[in-house]
Structure 1
Amino acid sequence: MTSKPPAKDPAAKPRAGVPVWRTGKPDAFLAAAVDVARDAVATIAKDSEIGPHIAAKSEGERVVTHLFESRLPGYGGWQWYAVVTRNSRSKTVTVSELGLLPSEDSILAPEWIPWAKRVRPEDEAPAPESDPESDAETDGAEASDGSAAEGPDEESGADEAPAGETPSDEAPSDETGAE
């Protein structure tokens, strides 16, 4: 009898930002290039923000990722990474990628929820209608202090031209130049 390997749980999601590491032994020459990787990370971070070397992991044939502890404020548990590679039979190390990755201990933002799913039933309820009596009371209070209504004098001046303008300024001009 042959036994089948256990099926992978489809509900198990990979964590955001964490690459799937390929198994295999890293290239010995690239794994030893810790100083090259650290110098590369130092081009995007201060030396005080780069902690000790954590690991060298194989990404494929002649491709290795070096991980360094992050001491960047606000990024506890994160790791600096530098991906290094080389051509076959070459002893020249090339840095191909740099950055900051979360680890299992990192604090990450919660998973994004679409707006339609964030709306609660009470958010969809119609707004309460205002009471007509309370509207009348507030209108009366505004009119009694004199600041809300000035009286008919304000309305009579509506037909007058604003200060500094004459009625001739408002007349349409003939742009053709013909008289």
Structure 2
Amino acid sequence: MEITADHLLSNAIELARAAAIDEARASGLPYEGELVGEHLGVEVDGERFLTHLFRTGLSGYRDWRWAVTLTRADEDTSSEATVCDVVLLPGPDALLAPKWIPYHERIQAGDLTPGVIVPTSHDDARLTPGYAALPGDEELDMAQLLELGLGRERVLSAFGRDATSQRWYRGDFGPEAQMAKAAPLPCAACAFFIPMAGSMRSVFGVCANEISPADGHVVSIDHGCGAHSQAQVI
């Protein structure tokens, strides 16, 4: 059911304006022209409960408006309007601060420099408690799992491994890289290819050829480059 604006409250524009002026003066903020400008309208908040909007003259507050909320006790015409609240609210074209992004989400690959700490949250989906890891997934030493307090507190979860695999596979050292497409043979057949341990062994390894741009990087078995060990046997 739509609530209609209370007639007495709607007409109490000067009461609302005076309240806004008092608040503007008390703020001590600089302003241009009028402290409280033209009346922009009303917003009905409930039965005998509405908000008057006024343009503000405060410097730097483009399209902000004073919002003065009024109410009255009952429907009796002798019931006077009362000021409930006076606040500054942004309009549709107001200049606002960017949405806050947590620090750990702002840091991107390449941002990490010496001394910078990037904490991981306790509920990071990429990680799982060490005791919950499957030995086959992480090549864990069973003796470490049985001895309380030994081993890593957290390891990659299945989600973390999948996300990592996809990122590596689609990256500069995966099969779709221009270097790989022009290579004579894949990394899997190269003597400089060192397979990884654990569950990623079947897809990834590390390049050990100092001539290759992939030297020291994780490469997929179907990556490749011109420095393949079998490119030319001398």
TM bin (shorter chain): 0.5 to 0.7
Match of 2:12 in 1: 33
Structure with bigger RCO (C-alpha 8 Å, 6+ apart): 1
Match of 1:53 in 2: 39
Match of 1:24 in 2: 3
CA distances 1:80-105 after superposition (whole Å, capped 9, x unpaired)? 01000001114311000001000101
Higher strand share: 2
1:104 counterpart (92, 104, 123): 92
CA distances 1:18-68 after superposition (whole Å, capped 9, x unpaired)? xxxx95321011000000000111111148221100001211000010000
Give the superposed CA RMSD. Answer: 2.0
CA distances 1:105-136 after superposition (whole Å, capped 9, x unpaired)? 10111111110011121222558xxxxxxxxx
- Letter of the 1:78 counterpart: W
Residues 23 and 66 (structure 1 numbering): CA distance in 2 closer, same or farther, change over 3 Å? Answer: farther
Q: Would you say the 8 A contact 2:52–2:68 is kept in 1?
A: yes
1:67 counterpart (34, 46, 53): 53
Match of 1:19 in 2: none
Match of 2:120 in 1: none
Match of 2:189 in 1: none
3-state SS of the aligned residue for 2:22? coil
- Letter of the 2:96 counterpart: L
- Letter of the 2:112 counterpart: E
Residues 23 and 72 (structure 1 numbering): CA distance in 2 closer, same or farther, change over 3 Å? Answer: farther
- Letter of the 2:88 counterpart: L
Q: Does 2:37 correspond to 1:42?
A: no
How far apart are the structure 1 equivalents of 2:102 and 2:8? 47
Residues 23 and 112 (structure 1 numbering): CA distance in 2 closer, same or farther, change over 3 Å? Answer: farther
Q: Would you say the 8 A contact 1:58–1:64 is kept in 2?
A: yes
1:93 counterpart (78, 81, 90): 81
Q: Would you say the 8 A contact 2:34–2:56 is kept in 1?
A: no
3-state SS of the aligned residue for 1:66? strand
How far apart are the structure 1 equivalents of 2:89 and 2:63? 9
Q: Would you say the 8 A contact 2:71–2:84 is kept in 1?
A: yes
How far apart are the structure 2 equivalents of 1:23 and 1:79? 25
TM-score by length of 1: 0.55
- Letter of the 1:74 counterpart: G
3-state SS of the aligned residue for 1:30? helix
1:79 counterpart (59, 65, 85): 65
How far apart are the structure 2 equivalents of 1:57 and 1:105? 18
List alignment gaps of at least 5 residues for structure 2: 26-32, 116-234
How far apart are the structure 1 equivalents of 2:16 and 2:2? 20
Identity %: 37
Q: Does 2:102 correspond to 1:114?
A: yes
Residues 23 and 50 (structure 1 numbering): CA distance in 2 closer, same or farther, change over 3 Å? Answer: farther
Q: Would you say the 8 A contact 2:19–2:68 is kept in 1?
A: yes
How far apart are the structure 2 equivalents of 1:97 and 1:78? 16
TM-score by length of 2: 0.43
List alignment gaps of at least 5 residues for structure 1: 1-21, 128-179
- Letter of the 1:101 counterpart: L
